[in-house]
Structure 1
């Protein structure tokens, strides 16, 4: 059974994106190259990844407008499960698998695709909460950026109490604080 990790960056006050769904705050952080290199090591452990439709559409907008080839460069041919009820465009050469319903409905396909490697939950936060509800969230890795925005998409819009989170590691990568929490059942 693969382990499932929510690995993301957040502002100091807990937002994944600002009120305009922008990550400009993230790309403006000095020393982001150090954080990017530690993310690369994580990505080498991933067997499959999962994201919601809004996150997928944001990545596709970035691919089209700002960083052509970003998908292939970042994700390669890793199987990507997109949770959606709609039909969405796919980048050339990408292994995109559209799924819908409860996490328990599509979890066997995700676990099979990942094999003995990590399942990476890209986001959004509500989808990660659904994985936790289904008992398939093992770890939360958060890179905390030195940025504050007034509002936006919260890191994880669910209650997971301190009795269920155990701090495993705390590191620094450039200007980011990287915290890893084990999610207890």
Structure 2
């Protein structure tokens, strides 16, 4: 399989660095066609979650009365991907989902070797921190939203050790969202 695929952290974050509000709110997150999220989903064939994020979004099905055709297509794409969930619990795998509680570095290497396309690291904050601390993220795609929450779940906590990443690309959208794409620094 592909050894050049990347683990990509693609995440919405507020201007003050939160990935959700104090009660889990994500209503500030702007999705617009110009962002081409479907294009991103076509770039990946697997998604990595922490267990809490998987419980919230891994099998999420929006109410058919409140969903647009574009959202329906997006969720269909998301649910077609292989899913890997890091958890301390012992849970049964199903058709598209594997629950992992083994060494994170070995698991990520196996996941990368078994997929041709990139892998989306969805989150939550604990798994993101573990991936950062083990230097397992190849690309950071952070969409900074023009919202200041003042409180909530921060994107970065307990990062050790410090390291640098290189700016690869920026894009400003009409909504005011600014996407910053960073990659690992090459030696």
* Secondary structure in 1 matching 2:136: coil
Aligned residues: 176
Change (3 A) 1:94 1:38: farther
- Distance in 1, Cα, partners of 2:54 & 2:73: 13
* Secondary structure in 1 matching 2:156: coil
- Distance in 2, Cα, partners of 1:17 & 1:114: 30
Gaps of 5+ in 1: none
Whether the aligned pair in 2 keeps the contact of 1:168 and 1:180 (CA below 8 Å) is yes
Structure 1 counterpart of 2:14: 11
Change (3 A) 1:147 1:62: farther
* Secondary structure in 2 matching 1:44: helix
- Distance in 2, Cα, partners of 1:89 & 1:172: 42
Deviation at 1:142, TM superposition (A): 0.5
TM norm structure 1: 0.80
- Distance in 2, Cα, partners of 1:49 & 1:60: 9
Deviation at 1:129, TM superposition (A): 2.5
Matched, 1:79 2:77: no
Structure 1 counterpart of 2:156: 156
Residue by residue, what CA displacement relative to the aligned partner does 1:63-89 show, whole Å, maximum 9, x if unpaired? 366769788514142111011133669
List structure 1 runs of 4+ shifted beyond 4 angstroms. 64-72, 87-90
Change (3 A) 1:94 1:21: farther
Matched, 1:167 2:170: no
- Superposition map of 1:24-63 within 5 A: 24-26=27-29, 29=30, 32-34=31-33, 37-59=35-57, 62-63=60-61
Whether the aligned pair in 1 keeps the contact of 2:133 and 2:161 (CA below 8 Å) is no
- Distance in 2, Cα, partners of 1:44 & 1:61: 19
Residue by residue, what CA displacement relative to the aligned partner does 1:125-175 show, whole Å, maximum 9, x if unpaired? 3312222333321110001111111211111222574x6121111101232
- Distance in 2, Cα, partners of 1:166 & 1:13: 21
Residue by residue, what CA displacement relative to the aligned partner does 1:23-46 show, whole Å, maximum 9, x if unpaired? 1121xx4xx3235x4222111110
- Distance in 2, Cα, partners of 1:71 & 1:34: 11
- Distance in 2, Cα, partners of 1:20 & 1:61: 20
* Secondary structure in 2 matching 1:180: strand
